[in-house]
Structure 1
Amino acid sequence: MKKFSKALAVAAVAVSAAYMPAASATPVKLELALLVDVSGSVDANEYALQKGGYVNAFQSAAIHNLIAGATGGIAVTYIEWSGAGEQAQKVGWTHLEDAADSNAFAAAISGTTRLPGNLTAPGSAINFAAPLFVNNGFEGRSVIDVSGDGAENDGANTATARNTAIAGGIDAINGLAIGDATLVAWYNTNIKGGSNAFVIGVSQFSDFAAAVETKIGREINPTPEPGSLALAGLALAGVAGLRRKQRS
């Protein structure tokens, strides 16, 4: 009899758990995954410039003001990547609502150690990052941000990974290409995707810090491209309702 009663109690708990609502996600203006290239072409000095660019950006008063003005703040994670099987989430999802939060995130980035890497697989990095948005505890505009100094020479096809991520609910994938016009064009063709997506190009790592601050500012306050404004007007006139991100 005791065993039967215990079984009923366990079943009751299981049924009630099944009907309990899932924990609600925290609404934020932006969910941002920063994907940073640490492949073999990035030497120690260039790595320091790149990492320092992110640290400086999150210590910037301009970024502090944008975060403070963002409804719900932003959620951000810092990821390093190289070849097909070389990715690591160095700083997990962090909620930033004010200058103190942003400075703490900068300190967390500063405290990380470099992921060993050799080849360049941005497609594999996108495939690694996209699932990290699922059940991350936040709900907002989802953006993957890829920075690097070379085109794909390993791993998953980049354009396919980009398309799969967008089809799966990621709102935009942006790029920061460190190199010549050919690399910027490659990023535009293979990495850029989704709504209000963009690529920023810099010719050398010494220009990276300023570009990062500009990029993060545009991601917090996205600016529609001129050609999309007319389409947006037509969509608002003809569609009643707001597309929700797909979550699996």
Structure 2
Amino acid sequence: MFNKKAVVLALGLIGSIAATPSYAVTQLGFILDRSGSIGSSNWTTIVNGLSSAVNSLIPIDSSYELSVVSFANGASVDVNHVLIDSAATRTAVASAIAGIVFTGGGTDMAAGFSTMQSTLSASTQAISFSYVNLATDGVPNDQNAATAARNSLIAAGVDNLSIEAIGGGVNAAYLQGSICYPQACDTTSPYAFPTQGFYIAVPDAAGYAAAIGNKIQVVTGVPEPGSLALAGLALTGLLGIRRRAKQD
């Protein structure tokens, strides 16, 4: 199992970047349910939400590798273990996510897990931590197959598997008890990441779009740009007070 000291993330249509860094990389894998129950309009909200979060929150210092897989009747690789090494690369990945086409169909969650496993396993980076996030609004076509594929993904080296459950059509007990990893699944903020997988229930696609940014912040420990700006203002104000105190 990987060294869990570093807590970092990773996203496919762009193609992989073959590089051999001298430091360890965190994998971030996002699995998206694009089955028929999601609907085209909700799908647009979901991919735009993930795209925006990635483009504003993922560091560009080559410490994260991103993969995105979506599934319906089968699964596709939409972002293929791309090392985020520049703002241009991150923007290209975000654009690829926003451009994932909705197809509708069944809920082949097993294919989603299996495809993510092969995508992450193809990385050429030195991986320190591997995180996978599942977003779904339903139940898998074959629950036993989905569980087996999830187990295989974890056996291949995934350190944490967390979930957004969208709407009321999910089997929460199954997702929390058989998919979330490590157990026991944490359902209450603040989450015990990375020692437990965590589960967030959201009412709709807009709820997912709002939650995914918060989840990325939990996993990476990176505050959103607005928080950084506020912190900078606070520091500036504190320095000003200290200068005035010295002058007095």
TM, length-normalised to structure 1: 0.68
Q: Is the 8 A contact 1:119 1:153 kept in 2?
A: yes
Bigger helix fraction: 1
State how 1:61-80 maps to structure 2 within 5 Å.
63-64=57-58, 67-68=59-60, 72-80=62-70
Residue identity in the other structure for 1:78: V
- After superposition, the Cα gap between the structure-2 partners of 1:112 and 1:203, relative to the gap in structure 1 and judged at 3 Å, is closer
Which residue of 2 is the match for residue 139 of structure 1?
126
| The structure with more radius of gyration | 1
Out of 108, 112, 130, the position equivalent to 2:96 is: 108
Q: Secondary structure at the match of 1:193?
A: coil
Q: Distance in 1 between matches of 2:88 and 2:196?
A: 29
Q: Distance in 1 between matches of 2:124 and 2:78?
A: 18
Higher mean C-alpha displacement, 202-211 vs 155-164 = 155-164
Q: Distance in 2 between matches of 1:149 and 1:175?
A: 11
Is 1:51 equivalent to 2:39 in the alignment?
Answer: no
Count of aligned residue pairs for this structure pair: 191
**1:38-66: CA deviations, max 9, x gaps?**
10111111111111111111232xx14xx
Shift of 1:176: 1.1
Shift of 1:126: 0.7
State how 1:1-248 maps to structure 2 within 5 Å.
25-26=20-21, 27-60=23-56, 63-64=57-58, 67-68=59-60, 72-83=62-73, 86-114=74-102, 116-140=103-127, 141-154=129-142, 157-180=145-168, 183-194=171-182, 195-221=195-221
Higher mean C-alpha displacement, 211-220 vs 37-46 = 211-220
Residue identity in the other structure for 2:111: S
Q: Distance in 1 between matches of 2:111 and 2:99?
A: 25
Runs of 4+ in 1 over 6 A off after TM superposition: none
**1:69-128: CA deviations, max 9, x gaps?**
x7x420001211113xx11101222111454432221112223333x3411122231122
Aligned Cα root-mean-square deviation (Å): 2.5
Q: Secondary structure at the match of 2:126?
A: strand
Q: Distance in 2 between matches of 1:204 and 1:88?
A: 23
How high is the sequence identity, in percent, across the aligned residues? 23
- After superposition, the Cα gap between the structure-2 partners of 1:25 and 1:176, relative to the gap in structure 1 and judged at 3 Å, is farther
- After superposition, the Cα gap between the structure-2 partners of 1:185 and 1:156, relative to the gap in structure 1 and judged at 3 Å, is closer
Shift of 1:214: 1.2
Residue identity in the other structure for 1:74: Y
Q: Distance in 1 between matches of 2:130 and 2:31?
A: 14
